Structure 1
Amino acid sequence: MAYLQQGGRLSALADAISVSDLWMINPPEIVAVEDYFRLCLSASELLHDPLLGIKAGQNAGLENFDVLGEALVNLRAKSLTLGHALHQVMALERLVHRLGTSRIESDGGNIRLIWRAHFQQHKAARLVCESVLSGIIHLAEQLTGRLIPVMEVCFIHARPENHQEAKYQQGFRAQCRFSQSHNSMMFAADVLAWPLKNIARPSVAESTAGQIVDQVKNHIGKNLLNSPKLPQIAAILGQSERSLQLQLKQQGTSYQQLLADVRLHHAQDYLQYSNLSILQISQLLGFKEQSSFNHFFLQGSGLSPKKWQKVSRGALTS
């Protein structure tokens, strides 16, 4: 998906890995590990995109995880937490995941999820590791309906040539460290208690104006970095701007109000649970200037970002 989104041609990728176009359109249910590695490397080289692994992870969905995906859907239906979901991942991945396994460790009051790759020395290891960790974050966000504030991401592989720090920060929404002893990501223990949200796609018959509000907020959250506008979100939902505005008005809200609500909610999560600077947080939320973010946050919460962060973190340690 990430390859196609950037204009990649399936025929070119098929030629690069010596398979038929039909194989690319309808691949076997189980793809050999070496074939998967060749796909990753060839797609990255054809696009001249060293960050394709991160983008591939961001396209991961429950439908991509077969047995594991079904188990997570069942957990979500039982209104359990992200912590339950992660433990389910670890219980099942040894059976369904041939690329590696993960475990959770306590780290100074925080939680570190460590992913052990089975093929760390392979040329494709960097792309695969970045895809897996990015995919776990994206999956967690689908399960909770919230952006996951990661504190740091670590990789065994060395810092890539022509490293683009801003791109990695945007991809993982966290500080990334290279040449570490493990592939991992760390986040606040409180995040594990976040409830799973039923985000199953409604049918056309089930789609109501109330659900439209949730859909708009969901798509705003996914696109905050690019300061999403009403026309963009309406197009994603397959509606005209006017139709979407009318439905939101019927629910007593507006697009600008929803945008402000989503920004404030995610800003509070980042300030409380991530290690990003206030400037970095403002950029991830689509603000061009930190001063604009400071003004927005003060209006919405009654406190400056710095003061709110101090108070919220004090509550965590008290």
Structure 2
Amino acid sequence: MSEILPKASERIYAPYKINAVVEVLAEQGIAAQSVLAGSGLSAGQLHDPNALTSLRQFLTVCENALALSQDPATPFEIGSRLHLSAYGMYGYALMSCLSLREYFRLAVKYRRLATPPFPAIWEEGTTTVTWRFPDRFVSPPSAELRQFLFELQLAITVTHVQEVAGFDCPPLTARVPYARPPHAALYRRYLGCRCEFAQPETQLLYDSAILDRKPKMAHQLTASLVQETCDRLLGQAKISEGASGEVYRLLMAIPGNFPSMEAVAERLNTTPRTLRRRLTLEDTSFQQILDDVRSTLALEYLQSSKMSTDDIGMLLGFTDTANFRRALKRWTGKGLEELRAPAVGR
């Protein structure tokens, strides 16, 4: 299976990939402002936990890196530094999965959360499992940027499989759809395998014997909780396409520090009045979406954590525990004691 690609202009991603590009080029003596030129981003935003970026901004930064860097190892180096811990819920879902087969499945299922410029597919054969990266981009790149992005993706994938596995498991073969470049030796250095050039498609082949191996951080409860959160971000109707989906994704991306309607409208490049009208046409409102997000998170915290009621209320933006209790009753029809999981301490 492969994921539906997001819109290039949707600002729904933390800037972790962009920050990795900036860091690698900084080591080459290239200023952050040059790498970020034309993206609409400042260096300070890369460390702002509330900053959200789009695929278009990421691609702009990659274009700049391609033009500014004289080192052909740049995309490989960026990919080798993009650890799963930087990917938020997506990364945690992959790290805690119970087998490498599950990792391959979830990496595709939730990949929309990972700033993907093109789709991914995985296929299990008798002796090999294959990562496929079709040549179908969110925004058509130049031939040079296309190669840069495929090299970056190959390095990212090898890094992630290795981190999840926790044991030495390089790919068997890499394949790319362009001619052998002068820096072909870098493929073996960073990917740990031979590479075949001028192939029909970008691919990474692994030994299928790894699929039933247990990842080093596998954890049943964590996997279930984090995957439920990822499912909410992707699979439910309330975060489908449309204005309501965009608002849901923004609010779920930074739980505990919910932006105002005015701030959300600004991030969506629209006005509060237009956003309100679009939500009304979808039979909802900003307040309804915010209440739904807070209710969902409240239930998760109450039933799966040992946080106090005061802490949960404060995390969800309530300054008074009594107001939090009343809101819970309004949202669920139940009192706090009914909602707390019996096994969770108070």
TM range (shorter): 0.5 to 0.7
TM-score by length of 1: 0.54
Pair member with larger Rg: 2
Spell out, residue by residue over 1:92-142, the C-alpha distance to the aligned partner (whole angstroms, 9 max, x if none): 124655422222224562221112253284122211121112111101111
2:101 corresponds, among 83, 86, 96, to: 83
Q: How does 1:231-270 map onto structure 2 within 5 Å? A: none
- Shift in Å, 1:39: 0.8
1:73 corresponds, among 59, 75, 95, to: 95
Supply the AA of the counterpart residue of 2:61.
Answer: L
SS in 2 for 1:34: helix
Q: Tell me what 1:122 maps to.
A: 141
Q: Tell me what 1:288 maps to.
A: none
Q: Which residues of structure 2 form unaligned runs of 5+?
A: 1-19, 220-346
**CA spacing shift, 1:139–1:5, aligned 2, 3 Å:** farther
Q: Tell me what 1:13 maps to.
A: 35
**CA spacing shift, 1:190–1:5, aligned 2, 3 Å:** farther
TM-score by length of 2: 0.50
- Shift in Å, 1:165: 2.4
> Does the alignment pair 1:102 with 2:120?
yes
Contact kept, 8 Å, 1:14 with 1:24, in 2: the verdict is no
1:33 corresponds, among 51, 55, 70, to: 55
SS in 2 for 1:176: strand
Supply the AA of the counterpart residue of 1:171.
Answer: Y
**CA spacing shift, 1:146–1:167, aligned 2, 3 Å:** same
SS in 2 for 1:181: coil
- Shift in Å, 1:27: 8.8
- Shift in Å, 1:37: 1.4
Q: Tell me what 1:52 maps to.
A: 74
Q: Tell me what 1:144 maps to.
A: 165
Q: How does 1:137-286 map onto structure 2 within 5 Å? A: 137-160=158-181, 163-198=182-217
**CA spacing shift, 1:112–1:21, aligned 2, 3 Å:** closer
**CA spacing shift, 1:81–1:106, aligned 2, 3 Å:** closer
Structure 1 Cα separation of the partners of residues 43 and 113 of structure 2: 30
Q: Tell me what 1:64 maps to.
A: 86
> Does the alignment pair 1:113 with 2:131?
yes
Supply the AA of the counterpart residue of 2:69.
Answer: L
Name the count of aligned residue pairs.
Answer: 194
Contact kept, 8 Å, 1:144 with 1:197, in 2: the verdict is yes
Supply the AA of the counterpart residue of 2:170.
Answer: P
SS in 2 for 1:190: helix
Spell out, residue by residue over 1:222-279, the C-alpha distance to the aligned partner (whole angstroms, 9 max, x if none): xxxxxxxxxxxxxxxxxxxxxxxxxxxxxxxxxxxxxxxxxxxxxxxxxxxxxxxxxx
Supply the AA of the counterpart residue of 1:154.
Answer: R
**CA spacing shift, 1:97–1:139, aligned 2, 3 Å:** same
SS in 1 for 2:71: coil
Contact kept, 8 Å, 1:67 with 1:96, in 2: the verdict is no
Contact kept, 8 Å, 2:90 with 2:113, in 1: the verdict is no
SS in 2 for 1:153: strand
Contact kept, 8 Å, 1:61 with 1:139, in 2: the verdict is yes
Spell out, residue by residue over 1:73-101, the C-alpha distance to the aligned partner (whole angstroms, 9 max, x if none): 332xxxx2212111111221246554222
Contact kept, 8 Å, 2:118 with 2:135, in 1: the verdict is yes
**CA spacing shift, 1:155–1:32, aligned 2, 3 Å:** same
Supply the AA of the counterpart residue of 1:173.
Answer: G
Contact kept, 8 Å, 1:145 with 1:199, in 2: the verdict is no
Q: How does 1:306-317 map onto structure 2 within 5 Å? A: none
SS in 2 for 1:193: coil
Q: Tell me what 1:131 maps to.
A: 152
Contact kept, 8 Å, 2:120 with 2:133, in 1: the verdict is yes
**CA spacing shift, 1:185–1:47, aligned 2, 3 Å:** same
More displaced, 163-172 or 190-199? 190-199
**CA spacing shift, 1:10–1:97, aligned 2, 3 Å:** closer
Supply the AA of the counterpart residue of 1:146.
Answer: F
Structure 2 Cα separation of the partners of residues 145 and 6 of structure 1: 31
Q: Which residues of structure 1 form unaligned runs of 5+?
A: 201-318
**CA spacing shift, 1:30–1:156, aligned 2, 3 Å:** farther
